[in-house]
Structure 1
Amino acid sequence: MAGNTFGEAFRITTFGESHGKAIGVIIDGCPAGLEIDLEFVQSELDRRKPGQSKITTQRKESDIAQLLSGVFEGQSTGTPITFLIPNEDQRSKDYDHNVGPFRPSHADYTYQAKYGIRDHRGGGRSSARETAARVAAGAVAKLFLKQTAGIEITAYVSAVGTMKVEKPYTELDLSTTENNILRCADPEKAEEMIAYIDSVRKAGDTVGGIITCIAKKVPVGLGEPVFDKLHADLGKAMLCINAVHGFEYGSGFEGATMLGSQHNDLFETDFSTRTNNSGGVQGGISNGQDIYFRVAFKPVATIMQGQETVDKEGNKVELHGKGRHDPCVVPRAVPIVESMAALVLADHFLRNKNAKI
């Protein structure tokens, strides 16, 4: 199976399945001499791990990262950094009902058709459990960006279903994001959204949402023409996260409703811009302003209600959802979005080193 490696200069390869012995990641290209704060890496994994609250899956995984290589006396050695994260709370029997039927809107049918075999236990490699490995790698990328350039990346839940945070991120206190179980930077709106998610959970259903991400202090010049534009790589990074169905940066789709005279970001004498409809990227290259984008997540496909589907022979059957699943993925997806953004920026930061003498 190809497609398990992401990045060029700062490159990661993830491995493992949802109900296998472990998942993990190999980070290649991290420069030597970086201070690797393992407590920070673990704190990032703790933000993503299951069982955090009533609005997340109740699977209990400690997600303790075991460092296997690439670090000596607290610093990166320049060789591959490897983390292993054991799976501790598999309940594979919860998926016995899934051997024959194809779950609606899951990867069951496509994996079976493509490979002729599939791991029915929680989706195997297609499970969102794989993203824990990305968060471990993203934590290292965050450390690299912070130590070398002071870059800071913050994401928060900005919508759940039809409920939205109306204020722009510039009017929110992003330091409060971790103060509620939803990871929403608007405390009042967060309470409404949490209550709604809980009601959806009790009804045996699921709901989608949107995460907004902001990268501050990004230097000018990150991004490669023509096919490796910064926003294009950010888009790929977000769209390869489980359940993501949309990506927009800067003014996004709203920009299509504006006139050029309204949309253009006019320069000041210090090369900053009065507005930031470009989302910090122009011509595919960072312009020194905040990079900001939004990521849309669909409702979780597994619902605790009966649904019509078919089995491997094409026979119609009724499938009832079982197991432990998130009623809404966005609270746990916030660190995943941040991690993938960090991986892209770390990769382009290293690639940009050879741009000029």
Structure 2
Amino acid sequence: MADDPRRYTVTINIAAPGTPLLGNDGKPNGETSLPGHMWFSLSDGADGNPDRSYGFAPIESGSITGRGQISADDQHYAESYYQRTIEITKEQYDKLYEFAETARTGNEKYMSLNYNGLNNSCVDFVYKGLSHAGLHAGLDIWKDSARDMFNKRANDFEGHMKPVNNVDSIRSIPAPFPDSELNREVQGKMPSRNFKQWLLTEHNIDDNVKGMYAKLESDLGTQINEKGAGKWRNAMLAETTYACIERGINADKIAHMGINEDKNSFYVIADNKRDFVSVDAIAAAKVNPEERLLEANQLYLQMGQQLEQKDLDRQRQIAQQQEHNSGMKIT
């Protein structure tokens, strides 16, 4: 029997928040992706055979949890923020195809089809499929957390929650044919994003700052909308986030928040009843929300460094006192 002349590839696609979406007719439908997306495509190199693409998403679009389904996402996203094509063996192609088709038919042999944005999302689907075919992300001692390194060593790494945060991990997968001309990477530009999409892709903002904004958005943001001030909502929330961080109020310590009766200020009260902030609504509406959140992040990091330094100074003072009391010199 003659050798199979075909050459097989898998292409991993990452779409960023703000990516234009396509309708069933293949044309832009005027909507954009809020969280971004991740999926893979398979090619067997045969003339006339279209690439097969597979992505995992909730049946009810926009849901964080719920029953999921497999779809051909090459047809739904106008562009990719990042794309990597890898030449693979026929065995690896067959493994990926088996994994994806099994899930597409509703069979949960290899993964649950109950979608969960935190731990069983489009990202998990891609990594599970790659792992099933023996394609694993490599270690990065400079960037990987201890947990990521442990999972990678166990071939159990399933990526980072946000699709755009997976570029480095996908890039680290060793290519079965490292010199193949079929191997390629395409790094696209970040699409135009609204404020929430920007926040989802801003890597430089600490999760605690994002958590504060999200906490305020869930309650105070609703109240702002109800007062007819939704146009300035992002700016107002960003300014209130800054004020809370400046005061040292953590998101999990907030007891009450709201709008004062005169409608010209917001208040946030901590659970200790002593710490609180009051933010002028008119002034807050004038700030640039993106710049203000970046400033809030810088303040948060500076305050963290100051606390660390105070802790070091305190430990040094304790050590010096112990040295003095014992008459021993600490080197």
TM-score (ref. length: structure 2): 0.24
Which structure shows the higher helix fraction? 2
Q: Which is bigger in relative contact order (C-alpha 8 A, separation at least 6)?
A: 1
Structure index of larger Rg: 2
